[in-house]
Amino acid sequence: MAAALKIELQDEPVMTAQVIPLRRPEAIASTISRQAGPFEVPVAERKSSGIGDILITGLLVIYPALATITAIIIGLMLARG
């Protein structure tokens, strides 16, 4: 028969979290609206997308998709032959 064992658990101290006050929106807005320093480049606001955005999209999205499909087709052709 299996012997019944009694397992005693020791109470561990309960850890409490420290409360960190949140910053007010006024304080956050003032740090965000600061002007760029001497070594920071200010970000120019963009009004619309141009031909450069279309070319980058083509290079980053469409080209890898076509290259993947081409690699799969070539792999299938080599596996048959």
Q: Is residue 8 part of a domain?
A: no
Q: Is residue 57 part of a domain?
A: yes
Please calculate the CA angle 56-59-77 and round it to the nearest 5 degrees: 165
Q: Is residue 12 part of a domain?
A: no
- At a CB cut-off of 8 Å and minimum separation 6, what does 42 contact? 35, 36
pLDDT of residue 75: 96
Q: Is residue 68 part of a domain?
A: yes
Q: Is residue 13 part of a domain?
A: no
Domain of residue 79, residue span: 51-81
- At a CB cut-off of 8 Å and minimum separation 6, what does 36 contact? 42
Q: Is residue 81 part of a domain?
A: yes
Number of domains forming the structure of the chain = 1
pLDDT tens profile 9-44? 566 555 666 777 777 766 666 555 566 667 777 677
pLDDT tens profile 58-81? 899 999 999 999 999 999 999 987
| pTM for the predicted model, two decimal places | 0.38
